[in-house]
Each structure stands twice: as structure tokens, then as C-alpha cells.
Amino acid sequence: MDSFYRANNMDWQAIGLSVRLSISTTLILLALGLPLAYWLTFSKRRWKFLIEAVVALPLVLPPTVLGFYVLLAIGPRSPIGALYARLTGGMLPFSFQGLLLASVLYSLPFTVQPVAAAFAAVDPRLLEASWCLGVSRAATFRRVLAPLALPGIATGAILSFAHTMGEFGVVLMVGGNIAGVTRTVSISIYDQVQALNYTAAAWTSLFLLGFSFTVLVFTYSLQRRIWSIWPGRHGL
Amino acid sequence: MASELSCHCRRRLPSGFEVDADLRIPFDQSPVTILFGPSGSGKTTLLRMIAGLDRPDAGAISFLGRDWFDSARAIHLPPQQRRAAFLFQDYALFPHLTVAANIAFAARPGKARELLKAFGLADLARRKPHAISGGQQQRVALARALAADPALLLLDEPLSALDAPTRARMRYELRRMLLDAGVPAIVVTHDRMEAVALGDWMAVIVDGRIRQTGPIQDVFRHPADALVAGSVGVENVLPAGIVAREDGLLTIQVGASRWQCVDSGGLPSGEGPVFACIRAEDVTLTRELPQSSSARNRIPGIVRSVILEGPLARVELDCGFPMVAVITAQSAGELQLRAGDSLSAIVKATSVHLTG
């Protein structure tokens, strides 16, 4: 009964919301990040490094700064906010959709960088051989590049998922603290501590710690296993 | 006219090296064309431009009357629309796919299975590329290319990744497979043996420019200039002067000696500087005393070195100019050659080829 009480003390609604946010973010990032990583890897444009720097910004920028700019960008008086209001009648700040947008930007490098590194490790002649056999660029991406870069793609997806699960600063700036809408796990822990409810905070923190550790253990073991079924590529 | 590749295009590489090739290949006369040149001569770059993998800075490429590239009209077909299958030096087989899946990669149904059998790969169908030998990998690469019904095959140094015994065997096997396929092929190589064994017709590229084209034996026997002679492996390219011409016979001055050679025409009339080209295997050595012989040139010299290369011996002579002879190891033994020996090099008048 005691453990049941403790478990009930955890903010399951916040955990559920965080999982939903992380899954959505990861799916959107896979759709956006793979083409972006492809472009970053294979484009010969001189100004490519500028885009690389922009993609990497969330790695070094304080989440509050990123959150602040996102908040300005999606506010009702901004073009993006106005367009969204016209299309849906709703508002982006302090909504799940606004939070999702911020999360996607915030986790972008966590998808793009491992995927781009995996793309760069694939022998470009394999792609060229496929093109010369009459296979389109899109089909070559799907049939040659993506399977060979699978470990990198898996790493990118898992890291983005885990990173979004633990997000705090950006959520606070863009999403606020609305139960069931924008109150994620980390916000919930902060609330519990503010309310001096240390037991609940401890259990929620332990959950997040255990989750993060499990995800990382899974990622690294998966990587090793995928590498080992891809023969002859161990050194890359 | 119909069955030909026409390519005159220019591309400057980041290193500053420029390929500026003007080439016309009549495939009806030459099912297998050799693109021959020393390393760094621009062979691979030219092949990549033909495939559509690299874009020329300027020029035009057309195949069977269809424009593949034309800088003036902004035409640049992607590789997919050219259907010029490219065989890379190390084959570029897809490592995550089995042999069967590699061959079926761009094949229409049925064709892959047919080729798998025809190339003797049926037993290896389920293996991954890393688990088969180099020679087998090459067959898979060729089968994969042919399965896609290519209009043209481009092979970049197809035998260079193989060990020596396999390479010697594969030369003839590859030639047979290319002829059986009935698809015109361009093979890049810098190996003379490979060129002779594989091809019908050849283009020599040196320093990014096509220097000579023609049937292979013609090019080897009659290099157009000293640069081609040097690159197709004519070891002796000696500066000479024409002294006299009569009855189709030329007298030339090489160093201190006068030689006779056959006037094959094509040289500028009158007297002037030329190059005498002699292949090392056309030089014989003797210790006999000089006696006149109209068809032979006898050049006294001193042995500088003797290097045994398997069944052959490479002898370097000093005749007032350096001269290389390749003789059998057996005759080298019979002559008891040693560095410092004096003897005579003999070159038939018909073995001396003059170029401008």
C-alpha cells in the first residue's frame, strides 16, 4: 500500500504529456532532419557552414534565450502567429502545438548531427553506382543510404526523444505551466519542490533518471548490435 | 555515325588540373574501347563526366545521336537518364545486400536470376559481398550493371583491385563477358597488357588531353608523338635527326650513330628533329663482331644494369644515350651479361618508328 501511495504521488499526467510531446517531436524531426542532414552532408554550397551553425545553435544557447525568441516568433502579432490564428483560430504560445514547435527546434541538432555523421560515413560511390543504374535519388536514399546509415538514424531519433523528455527551460518560456497542456515532467518536479513535496519530487526525478539511463543503455547496445550485423564497417 | 559517343568537354579540378578532352568513339568498330593513360592523366574524370557524375565546365557530350550534355544549350542529363552503368575500381557493391539482391537492384524481373546463372554466381546468391572473393565481386558488379539494361558500360580500372594471378585470368574472361553482353564498353586502364587483352580500339589521354585514337595495335606500333610513346610504354624515345631519304628508307642520326629505318610516311618532309621510338622487346643484344646488314642497325654500347623480371631480363645500356632492351632471361644467361660489358644492340629498320 505504501508503494502504491508513493507511485500515486507521481504526476502521471505530466509524464504522459512528456511522452506524447517526445514522440511527436521525434517523428517531426525524422521527417525534417533526414532531408536536412542529407543536404548538409552532400551539398556543395559554399554557405553550407552557416546552416550547420544555425542547426547547432541549440547545443550552446541557453534554453531561455531560444525559448524567448520562439515566444516572440509565434506571438499573435508575429507573421507566424497571425497565420496560425487565421488557419486554426487558436494561438501558439502556451499551447501544446507551440511547445512542439519549440521542442523541434531545440532538439534539431540531436537528430541532424548523428544522422549527418552516419551519411558522411557511407561511401559516396555506392550512391553514384545506384544513380548510374538508373535508380532515382529518392529511391537511392531509401534503398542504399538510409539502410547503411540506420545506426546513426536510430541514435538521432533516440537522443531527440530523450532530450525532449528532459526539456525544462524552453517549456517554461514557451509553454508555461498548464496542467495537461504544457506541464511536462521536469516542470512538474520543479512545482513539487516549490510546494515542498519532496517525496513526489524524488519519485518523479527517480523515474526520469531511470528512464534516461535505460534509453542511453538501449542506444549504445543497439548501436553495437547494428554495427556488428553491418560487416566490414567497424572502423568507421 | 549512329553508333558513336562524341565528347568534347572541359573541366578544371580544384587542384588546377584541367581535363580538356576531344573524343569520338565509333562503337560499331570497337565494342570495347580502352581509355589509356598514366595515373593522374584525367582518365577517371573523363569517365565520370561521360557518366554524368561530374559536370563539365563547358563542352558537349552526345551518345547515339542523343545529347547528354551541352553547355551552350544548358543540357545536363542526370546519370539516371544516361543509363551509362559505372563499374568502380573496387566495385561499390551494396554491403547490406546479398549477391542476389545486388544483381536484382535495378533489374527487371527474371533478368537477375538469368544473369546470376550466366555469371556462375548461383551458389553465392545468399552471400554478402564481403564474403566472396575479388574476382567474384567483379562478376557481381558486372552482372548488376548488365541487369539494368545499360546503354553503355564504363569500367574504371576494372582489374586493378585483383591479385596478379586472378588479374591475368580475368583479362580474357572480362573481354568475353563484355562481348557476350553486346553493350558498348569503355575501359579505363594504365596497363598495356590489359589494354591489348581487353580492347579493340583505344584512346590515349596524357595531361588531360586525348593525344591519339585508333586500333590498339596501331597505337602501340605507331605512337603519334613522344608523349604518347612514353605513356604507352615504348621505353626508348630518342631524339634524332633525318639525314637522308631514298626509296622509302630513311637514314637518321641518333647520338653518334646512323640508323636506317622505314619511311612510313606522315612525317614532315625535309630534314629536321624527330623522335625515334623503339620498344624494348624489339632491341636484341649480341657480342658478335659487326658485319654489314642492310635491314639491321647495330649500335655499340656498354651494359649499365641487368634486372631479372621473371622470365624476362631488362637490360639498360649506355650507347651515348640511354637505351633499354628486354630479352629473355635465358638469352641474358647465355650472353653472360654483366654491368660494364661492351656489346652491340641490334634494332631492325622496321622496328624503328619515327614521330614528330
Q: Which pLDDT belongs to residue A234?
A: 39
Q: Which pLDDT belongs to residue B63?
A: 93
Q: Choose the most confident range, by mean pLDDT, from A102-111, A161-170, A180-189.
A: A102-111
CA dist A80 → A71, A73, A75, A92, B334 (Å): 11, 7, 8, 9, 93
Asked if B14 has any chain A CB less than 8 Å from its own CB, the reply is no
**Residue A151: partners with Cβ closer than 8 Å, 6 or more residues away:** A118, A222, A223, A226, A227, A230
Asked if B96 has any chain A CB less than 8 Å from its own CB, the reply is yes
Q: Which amino acid is at A63?
A: P
**Residue A138: partners with Cβ closer than 8 Å, 6 or more residues away:** none
Q: Angle at Cα A189 formed by Cα A188 and Cα A193, nearest 5°?
A: 115
Asked if B118 has any chain A CB less than 8 Å from its own CB, the reply is no
- Read off the pLDDT of each residue in A10-34 and give the average, rounded to a whole number: 90
Q: Which pLDDT belongs to residue A123?
A: 94
Architecture per CATH, domain B234-355, reads as Beta Barrel (2.40)
Residue A131 and residue B83: Cβ atoms within 8 Å?
Answer: no
Q: Which pLDDT belongs to residue A28?
A: 96
DSSP-based three-state secondary structure for B106: coil
Q: Which position has the higher pLDDT, B43 or A228?
A: B43
Grid cell, residue A143, equals: 534503398
Nearest to B60 by CA among B7, B24, B11, B4: B7
- Most A CBs within 10 Å, among B54, B68, B77, B80, to test the A interface: B80
Decide if pLDDT at B53 tops 90: yes
- pLDDT tens per residue across span B126-159: 999 999 998 899 999 999 999 999 999 999 998 8
Q: Which pLDDT belongs to residue A1?
A: 41
In a domain, A49, yes or no: no
Q: In 10 A of CB A207, how many CB atoms?
A: 17
Give CATH 2.40.50.100 domain extents, chain B: 234-355
| Beta partners for residue B274, in sequence order | B240
Q: Which pLDDT belongs to residue B34?
A: 93
Decide if pLDDT at A236 tops 50: no
Report the domain count for chain A: 1
CATH number for the domain that contains residue A172: 1.10.3720.10
**Å between B182 CA and nearest CA of chain A:** 17
In a domain, A3, yes or no: no
Q: Which pLDDT belongs to residue A226?
A: 58
Q: Which position has the higher pLDDT, B181 or A139?
A: A139
Predicted complex: ipTM over 0.90: no
Residue A231 and residue B95: Cβ atoms within 8 Å?
Answer: yes
- pLDDT tens per residue across span B9-21: 999 998 889 999 9
Q: Are B53 and B47 in contact (CB under 8 A)?
A: no
Q: Which pLDDT belongs to residue A34?
A: 95
Full domain range(s) for residue A205: 11-43+61-228
Q: Which pLDDT belongs to residue A232?
A: 45
In a domain, A53, yes or no: no
Q: Which position has the higher pLDDT, B262 or A22?
A: A22
CA dist B311 → B286, B308, B326, B343 (Å): 19, 7, 10, 22
CA distance A220 to A43: 30
Nearest to B80 by CA among B28, B171, B139, B148: B148
- Most B CBs within 10 Å, among A122, A133, A229, to test the B interface: A133
CA distance B34 to A12: 72
Q: Which amino acid is at B339?
A: A
- pLDDT tens per residue across span A36-85: 999 999 998 889 999 999 999 999 999 889 989 988 888 888 888 888 88
Q: In 10 A of CB A195, how many CB atoms?
A: 10
- pLDDT tens per residue across span A133-166: 999 999 999 999 999 999 889 889 998 999 998 8
CA dist A145 → A38, A187, B97, B184 (Å): 9, 39, 12, 30
In a domain, A4, yes or no: no
- Read off the pLDDT of each residue in B253-263 and give the average, rounded to a whole number: 84
Grid cell, residue B83, equals: 543509363
In a domain, A198, yes or no: yes
Residue A133 and residue B96: Cβ atoms within 8 Å?
Answer: no
User: How would you class B43 by CB atoms within 10 Å of its CB: exposed for 0-12, middle for 13-18, buried for 19 or more?
Assistant: buried
CA distance A167 to A107: 9
Please report which helix (H) or strand (E) contains residue B65, including its range.
none
Give CATH 3.40.50.300 domain extents, chain B: 4-226
- pLDDT tens per residue across span B259-296: 888 876 666 666 667 788 888 888 888 887 666 555 57
Decide if pLDDT at A107 tops 90: yes
Residue A131 and residue B88: Cβ atoms within 8 Å?
Answer: no
- pLDDT tens per residue across span B56-97: 999 999 999 899 999 999 999 999 999 899 999 989 999 999
DSSP-based three-state secondary structure for A201: helix
Range with the poorest average pLDDT among A101-110, A213-222, B117-126 = A213-222
Number of C-alpha atoms within 13 angstroms, CB side, residue B277? 20
Classify domain B4-226 at the CATH topology level. Answer: Rossmann fold (3.40.50)
In a domain, A2, yes or no: no
Q: Which pLDDT belongs to residue B271?
A: 64
Tell me the chain B residues in contact with residue A231 when contact means C-beta distances shorter than 8 Å. Answer: 95, 128, 130-131
Tell me the residue length of chain A.
Answer: 236
Nearest to B259 by CA among B167, B158, B348, B196: B348
- Read off the pLDDT of each residue in B34-43 and give the average, rounded to a whole number: 89
Residue A232 and residue B130: Cβ atoms within 8 Å?
Answer: yes
Residue A128 and residue B92: Cβ atoms within 8 Å?
Answer: yes
Q: Which amino acid is at A20?
A: R
For residue B328, give the DSSP letter: E
- Most B CBs within 10 Å, among A122, A127, A132, A153, to test the B interface: A132
Confidence band, pLDDT 50/70/90 cuts, at residue A4: very low
- pLDDT tens per residue across span B283-339: 888 887 666 555 578 888 899 988 887 788 888 899 888 888 888 888 888 888 888
